[in-house]
């Protein structure tokens, strides 16, 4: 029995929005984003969940190394994998990696479909919650390239950054987590978090998608002092999805 080849795209343009996840940066963060999407979707059965296609091919060059040390750029691979998502029928692409958003505008120029920025999603929550003083916890590349500082520039928000020594600890914590050493990643990160709390920071932006995984216990026990960028991205993605379902764009 052979069924006619029918791509999801043709259906999607008429009916179904499909979320494309440009993942693998890292793979654990991709799974975390998918998990958060499922948990926050008000579905009563499989069929009511949001359609997702995830490409988690992690051979994309290290984002931080490229920005800081001019090692090979991840852009080419990201465009290549974004095209896989488009061809597979994704109608909105998200990237569960803050540092990769250094190339967000470049990526947008290479696709016809919607994209939702994790940085914009997180900063929108800062505005909505009227937060006045944040700390930025992120990769050294995200911090040094001012991604969050620029995005928050229009808001009256004080940004506290870790000291250079603390920032090294944050970065090493992220690499330790990626290497599977959760204990080491926590040992490096927790003193930085404690120090920032003592400086009167209202919210810590978890501006690297590994951080909510490293701080899973802390975020679940004291959620109010963290702003999880992945969570913000997923909330905005779910809102986008139901907007499309309720008010689908008029076909061209």
Is residue 28 near a copy of itself by the rule CB under 8 A?
yes
Tokens of 183: 């204990």
Interhelix angle 229-246/27-40, rounded to 10 degrees, is 50
Tokens of 201: 């920071």
**Which residues ranging from 37 to 66 are in contact with a copy of itself (CB under 8 A)?**
38, 43-49, 51-62
Cβ-based nearer residue to a copy of itself, 52 or 190: 52
Q: Which residues contact 100 (CB under 8 A, 6 or more apart)?
A: 22, 25, 63, 74, 78
Site string for a copy of itself, 169-208 (x = CB under 8 A): ------x--xxx----------------------------
Is residue 238 near a copy of itself by the rule CB under 8 A?
no
92 is catalytic: no
Residue matched to tokens 């999801």: 8
Of the candidates 71, 72, 76, 146, which one interacts with a copy of itself according to CB under 8 A? 76
The one-character DSSP state at 130 is: T
Q: What phi and psi, each to the nearest 5 degrees, are found at residue 160? A: -100, 135
66 is catalytic: no
The one-character DSSP state at 86 is: H
Cβ-based nearer residue to a copy of itself, 202 or 231: 231
Tokens of 221: 């026990």
Name the residues that contact a copy of itself, by CB under 8 A: 1-3, 5-8, 16, 18, 24-28, 30-31, 34-35, 38, 43-49, 51-62, 76, 79-81, 83-84, 87-89, 106, 110, 175, 178-180
Q: Could you give the residue numbers annotated as active site?
A: 97, 208
């Amino acid at each position: 029995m052979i069924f006619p080849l029918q791509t999801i795209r043709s259906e999607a343009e008429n009916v179904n929005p499909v979320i494309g996840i440009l993942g693998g940066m890292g793979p654990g963060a991709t799974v975390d984003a998918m998990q958060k999407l499922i948990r926050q979707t008000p579905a009563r059965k499989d069929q009511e969940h949001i359609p997702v296609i995830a490409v988690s091919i992690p051979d994309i060059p290290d984002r931080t190394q490229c920005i800081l040390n001019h090692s090979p750029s991840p852009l080419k691979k990201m465009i290549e994998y974004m095209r896989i998502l488009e061809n597979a029928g994704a109608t909105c692409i998200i990237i569960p990696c803050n540092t990769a958003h250094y190339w967000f505008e470049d990526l947008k120029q290479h696709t016809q479909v919607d994209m939702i920025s994790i940085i914009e999603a997180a900063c929108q929550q800062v505005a909505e919650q009227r937060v006045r003083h944040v700390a930025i916890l992120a990769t050294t590349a995200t911090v040094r390239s001012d991604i969050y500082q620029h995005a928050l520039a229009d808001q009256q928000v004080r940004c506290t950054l870790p000291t250079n020594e603390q920032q090294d600890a944050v970065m090493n914590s992220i690499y330790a987590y990626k290497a599977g050493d959760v204990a080491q990643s926590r040992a490096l990160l927790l003193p930085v978090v404690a120090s920032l709390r003592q400086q009167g920071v209202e919210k810590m932006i978890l501006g690297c998608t590994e951080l909510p995984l490293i701080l899973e216990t802390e975020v679940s026990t004291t959620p109010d002092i963290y702003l999880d960028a992945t969570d913000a991205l997923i909330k905005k993605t779910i809102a986008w999805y139901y907007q499309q379902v309720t008010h689908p764009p008029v076909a061209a």
